[in-house]
């Protein structure tokens, strides 16, 4: 799985199945359920840490029609302002969607310009940056359950909170409809450039990483706590706390998932010992104890 993760770590997947249409996905889910085979979906791989033992069962990758995006309609006024709806497949990449919305003169997603994930992963994790998050923009989602049945849910039913959404268990996000507001294209482009410049100045975007490793504790910054604990630049093997941003772990070449997990535990214990704060991973850790011995 290292080739499917921006962190470049992870053991073998037992089986990988690319799926290009909703009909294909429905048939696959029905077959997996009938044969009692486990599964997981992996998107852009920008927020996952797969164990060295890899992933059991079937790992599903969405492509084809799951990468399409379109302006559905002007939605009239919402919350006192004009809105427009954009429908995007779960496999659409956030930077591509930001570019599309910019071309349509639609504002609201500028904060996501440098986030290298997919729409599906962004909604599941309620991705955000610079004080904004995707949750409030979600008008509705289409989901598929593990029997292959399509479901529709309104955005407010997902109960978005910090870095999480309450999706029904064992469902796959198929597509989302986002509510955006009309804006000036030049202003939108300028805002995107400003966010990109901030990322380049403060984050190790040129090195293999998975973005912010820990959630920010209430009223605090995980990066600040890690830095105050003297852990900037600390390494376990080739897994290192970035010297540029302490809440980023980078792979300096040949780090294993075990190196990353050991680094995570060391940072957690050190910060807890110094400040009494238990850092919670933002990254999705996959594959631990999944494989049969």
pLDDT tens readout for residues 222-250: 999 999 999 999 999 999 999 999 999 99
Mean predicted lDDT score pLDDT of the chain? 93
Architecture of the domain whose range is 67-189: 2-Layer Sandwich (3.30)
Distance in angstroms between the alpha carbons of the first and the last residue of the chain: 20
Contacts of 128 (CB under 8 A, 6+ apart): 111, 134, 135, 163
pLDDT band at residue 77 using 50, 70 and 90 as cut-offs: low
As beta bridge partners, residue 107 has 181
pLDDT at 218 over 70: yes
Residue range 157-206, pLDDT digits in tens: 999 999 899 999 999 999 999 999 999 999 999 999 999 999 999 999 89
Question: According to the model, what pLDDT value does residue 76 have?
Answer: 60
Q: Which CATH architecture is the domain 2-65 placed in?
A: 2-Layer Sandwich (3.30)
Using an 8 Å Cβ cutoff, are 273 and 226 in contact? no
- pTM for this entry: 0.89
The order of strands in the sheet holding 239-241 is 209-212, 248-251, 239-241, 235-236
Residue 237: in which H helix or E strand, if any? none
**Dihedral through CA 161, CA 282, CA 19, CA 143, nearest 10?**
-10
Location of structure tokens 């792979």: 251
Contact, 192 vs 186, CB < 8 A? no
Closest to 18 measured CA to CA, from 58, 61, 57: 61
Q: How many Å apart are CA 140 and CA 157, to the nearest integer?
A: 9
Beta strands per DSSP E along the chain: 13-19, 39-41, 48-50, 55-62, 69-78, 81-89, 106-107, 128-129, 132-133, 138-145, 150-154, 171-182, 209-212, 235-236, 239-241, 248-251, 284-286
Band of the pLDDT at 73, cuts 50, 70, 90? Answer: confident
Least confident piece of the model among 17-21, 26-30, 206-210, 288-292: 288-292
Chain position carrying tokens 């496999």:
91
Say how far apart CA 248 and CA 242 lie, in whole Å: 6
What are the structural domain ranges in the chain? Answer: 2-65, 67-189, 204-286
Which CATH fold would you assign to the domain 204-286?
3.90.78
Q: What is the CA radius of gyration of the chain?
A: 20
pLDDT, mean of residues 63-69: 96
> What residues act catalytically?
163, 212, 282
Bigger pLDDT: 77 or 82?
82
Same fold, 2-65 and 204-286: no
Residue 79 has pLDDT above 60, yes or no: no
Tens of pLDDT, residues 94-145 = 999 999 999 999 999 999 998 888 999 999 999 988 889 999 999 999 999 9
Residue 18, SS3 per DSSP: strand
């Amino acid at each position: 799985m290292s080739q499917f993760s921006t962190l470049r770590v992870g053991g073998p997947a037992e089986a990988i199945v690319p799926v290009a249409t909703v009909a294909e996905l429905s048939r696959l889910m029905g077959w997996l359920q009938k044969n009692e085979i486990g599964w997981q979906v992996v998107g852009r791989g920008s927020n996952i840490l797969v164990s060295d033992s890899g992933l059991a069962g079937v790992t599903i990758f969405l492509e084809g029609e799951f990468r399409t995006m379109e302006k559905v309609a002007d939605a009239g006024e919402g919350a006192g302002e004009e809105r427009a709806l954009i429908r995007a497949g779960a496999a659409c990449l956030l930077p591509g969607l930001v570019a599309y919305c910019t071309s349509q003169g639609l504002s609201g997603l500028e904060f996501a310009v440098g986030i290298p994930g997919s729409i599906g992963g962004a909604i599941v994790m309620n991705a955000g940056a610079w004080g904004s998050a995707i949750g409030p923009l979600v008008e509705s989602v289409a989901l598929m359950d593990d029997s292959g049945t399509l479901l529709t849910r309104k955005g407010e039913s997902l109960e978005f909170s910090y870095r999480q959404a309450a999706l029904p268990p064992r469902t796959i996000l198929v597509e989302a409809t986002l509510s955006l507001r009309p804006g000036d294209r030049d202003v939108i482009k300028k805002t995107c450039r400003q966010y990109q410049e901030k990322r380049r100045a403060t984050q190790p975007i040129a090195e293999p990483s998975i973005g912010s490793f820990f959630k920010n504790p209430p009223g605090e910054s995980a990066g600040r706590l890690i830095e105050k604990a003297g852990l900037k630049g600390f390494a376990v093997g080739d897994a290192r706390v970035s010297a540029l941003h302490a809440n980023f772990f980078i792979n300096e070449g040949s780090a294993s998932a075990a190196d990353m997990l050991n680094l995570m535990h060391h940072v957690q214990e050190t910060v807890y010992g110094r400040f009494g704060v238990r850092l919670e991973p933002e990254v999705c850790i996959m594959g631990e104890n999944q494989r049969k011995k």
